[in-house]
Amino acid sequence: MNEGDNRQIARDSLFLMADLRIDGLEGEYRIKVRNLSAGGMMGEGPVRIVRGSIVEVNIRNVGWVKGSVAWVQDNRFGVAFREDIDPKLARAPVGVGEDPAPRFTRNHQAHHSGGTTLRKI
Mean pLDDT on 62-91: 96
Closest CA to 34 of 11, 1, 3, 65: 11
**Is residue 45 assigned to a domain?**
yes
**Is residue 115 assigned to a domain?**
no
Q: Is the pLDDT of residue 116 over 60?
A: yes
**Is residue 104 assigned to a domain?**
no
Q: Is the pLDDT of residue 96 over 80?
A: no
The reported pLDDT for the residue numbered 22 is 97
Cβ atoms 108, 118 nearer than 8 A: no
**Is residue 85 assigned to a domain?**
yes
- Write the pLDDT tens digit of every residue in 17-70: 999 999 999 999 999 999 999 999 999 999 999 999 999 999 999 999 999 999
**Is residue 13 assigned to a domain?**
yes
Total domains present in the chain: 1
Residue 7 maps to which CATH number? 2.40.10.220
**Cα 35 → chain centroid:** 10
The reported pLDDT for the residue numbered 26 is 92
Cβ atoms 47, 24 nearer than 8 A: no
The reported pLDDT for the residue numbered 2 is 45
| Residue 77: domain span | 3-92
